[in-house]
């Protein structure tokens, strides 16, 4: 059981356990419902202060990566406990800074601490080490084999960029931070300037866990600074060995360019842009058109459309059946009211994206929701067009970060397949159908496998389960690396690399590879998985 504690928000960066007043200007959090400043003033660090954080992370790396599974798992659990212990103070601050409702913030906090505890379990279980042993074969002919063993080790200090749309689950203590710490990597978080107070509260919770666990202070730092200067300097710093980013395509590609141009290029795991197509087949419309329409509108407008998995394209059959669905969804959308978006800048960008869609030829508005009562709360919008227009107009694949969607009307399965082939990489694709549509769905699935990271059937893409089988990733531009995921236990592998040990004496081998197997890990010996408990 945890006890609550209060942390005063100072507006200062937390560098290796110290609150540091920045010397490169100031900023404020802004209440998006009123556009009013929220105290206190936030001080922004300069390059010299950033270098203190990266140097401290590098100095902490070898000690931290040498922690045992039990030690590292306990540290992650302390972080979870401390975030929970922030109580109502964290919820209230996050609501003010984001305009999100308290229930959403509380749910996101549960997901955040759940991620930490999931990775604690992953570390204890130990499969992420991927220990492999090929014992020596001195009598093998024509050539003997030396003893060769392999494990995965942490890459080094990781830069994590807080996301605008998830102030907890994808920010200071979010999935990138949790998976990097679980891998054995110190973390430096570049806080999102839209919710600095929320970031600082969580930063204090992690800093306290570092101290409580007896770890080097450089294991964690939280910095405030301009993304175009401090963010880029962080990626370029030679102490940083990998980057986790959730944000815009322009921001992600800029970070990728900086990382690739370094004398030592480093991996960037960026989640950037997705419009999450939905494919509606005739059987789904015949089943319960009103429920289907309600589900679409709920997913489209959830969180003011500020989820990376909101459905932005909906492929619907042409003709009377499809007309019924479009009409039902339009009726449902007209009953909705906009909610406050995360920032004025995001609301303005959404308005610009909607205006661009309005100006496209052969793209028509079919329904609009009502604006909300606060500032920065536009109403939702639905458009419609044809597959020919979609294939000919690349602009229809540009993400509008907000509650805006486009119906793409298709005639026949060949036309639908051609449109699917034209899609850019996406996080998700959703199919709504019944067993009557199976023959038409089968050719679509291989196309979607090449285009997306997660395929859903008769559900909606908003809402990402944190577990072992989840993939929250996809081909570019959904992410910068389609081989990875930013959600779920597989995310730990992003921040590790393999090392082989050939003919090393047992007493010099790392613990996961020693004959006695002191960490009690399952290991692959001569290609066969050997259970640590049974030895078989």
Residues labelled as active-site residues: 271, 308
Distance CA 331, CA 379 (A): 14
| Order of strands across the sheet that contains 426-432 | 364-368, 381-386, 404-410, 313-317, 278-280, 426-432, 452-457
**Strand-pair category, 148-154 with 158-161:** unpaired
Return the closest-CA partner of residue 166 out of 255, 234, 249, 247. 247
Strands of 175-218, DSSP E: 187-190
Distance CA 64, CA 182 (A): 10
Residue 13 to residues 50, 53, 204, Cα–Cα distance (Å): 10, 10, 10
Contacts of 349 (CB under 8 A, 6+ apart): 401, 402
Helix 175-183 to helix 102-125 angle (10° resolution) is: 20
Distance CA 468, CA 431 (A): 23
CB of 232 within 8 A of CB of 260?
A: no
Distance CA 112, CA 171 (A): 9
Cα atoms in the 13 Å half-sphere on the side-chain side of 63: 13
Distance CA 121, CA 489 (A): 9
Return the closest-CA partner of residue 405 out of 430, 425, 380, 387. 380
Give the DSSP letter of residue 491.
G
Give the DSSP letter of residue 14.
E
Distance CA 220, CA 209 (A): 10
Return the closest-CA partner of residue 314 out of 371, 232, 396, 370. 396
Return the closest-CA partner of residue 479 out of 268, 208, 278. 268
Enter the tokens of residue 166. 């998830």
């Amino acid at each position: 059981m945890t006890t609550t504690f209060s942390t005063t928000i100072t507006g200062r960066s937390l560098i290796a356990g110290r609150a540091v007043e920045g010397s490169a200007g100031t900023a404020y959090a802004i209440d998006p419902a009123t556009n009013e400043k929220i105290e206190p003033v936030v001080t922004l660090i300069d390059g010299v202060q950033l270098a203190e954080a990266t140097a401290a992370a590098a100095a902490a790396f070898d000690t931290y990566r040498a922690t045992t599974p039990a030690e590292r798992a306990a540290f992650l659990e302390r972080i979870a406990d401390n975030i929970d212990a922030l109580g109502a103070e964290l919820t209230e601050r996050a609501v003010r800074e984001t305009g999100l409702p308290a229930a959403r913030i509380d749910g996101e906090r549960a997901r955040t601490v759940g991620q930490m505890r999931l990775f604690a379990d992953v570390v204890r279980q130990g499969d992420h080490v991927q220990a492999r042993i090929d014992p020596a074969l001195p009598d093998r002919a024509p050539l003997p084999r030396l003893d060769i063993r392999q494990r995965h080790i942490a890459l080094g200090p990781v830069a994590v960029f807080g996301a605008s749309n998830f102030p907890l689950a994808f920010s200071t203590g979010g999935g990138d931070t949790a998976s990097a710490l679980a891998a054995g990597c110190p973390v430096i978080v570049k806080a999102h300037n839209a919710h600095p107070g929320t970031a600082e509260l969580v930063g204090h919770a992690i800093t306290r866990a570092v101290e409580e666990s007896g770890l080097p202070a450089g294991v964690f730092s939280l910095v405030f600074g301009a993304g175009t200067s401090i963010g880029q300097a962080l990626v370029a710093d030679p102490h940083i060995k990998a980057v986790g980013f959730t944000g815009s395509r322009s921001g992600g590609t800029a970070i990728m360019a900086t990382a690739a141009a370094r004398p030592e290029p480093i991996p960037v795991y960026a989640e950037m842009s997705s419009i999450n197509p939905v494919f509606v087949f005739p059987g789904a419309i015949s089943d319960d058109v009103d429920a289907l329409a309600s589900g679409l509108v709920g997913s489209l407008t959830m969180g003011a459309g500020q989820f990376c998995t909101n459905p932005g394209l909906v492929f619907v059959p042409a003709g009377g059946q499809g007309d019924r669905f479009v009409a039902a969804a339009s009726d449902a959308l007209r009953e909705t009211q906009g909610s406050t978006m995360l920032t004025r800048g995001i609301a303005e960008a959404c308005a610009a994206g909607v205006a661009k869609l309005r100006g496209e030829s052969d793209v028509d508005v079919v329904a609009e929701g009502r604006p909300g009562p606060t500032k920065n709360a536009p109403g939702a919008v639905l458009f419609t067009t044809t597959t020919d227009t979609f294939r000919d107009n690349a602009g229809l694949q540009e993400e509008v970060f907000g509650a805006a969607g486009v119906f793409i009307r298709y005639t026949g399965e060949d036309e639908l397949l051609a449109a699917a082939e034209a899609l850019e990489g996406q996080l998700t694709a959703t199919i709504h159908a019944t067993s009557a549509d199976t023959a038409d769905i089968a050719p679509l699935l291989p196309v979607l496998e090449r285009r997306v990271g997660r395929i859903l059937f008769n559900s909606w893409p908003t809402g990402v389960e944190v577990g072992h089988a989840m993939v929250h990733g996809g081909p570019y531009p959904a992410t910068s690396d389609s081989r990875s995921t930013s959600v779920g236990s597989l995310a730990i592998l992003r921040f590790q690399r393999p090392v082989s040990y050939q003919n090393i004496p047992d007493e010099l081998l790392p613990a996961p590879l020693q004959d006695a197997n002191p960490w009690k890990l399952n290991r692959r010996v001569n290609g066969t998985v050997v259970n640590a408990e049974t030895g078989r």
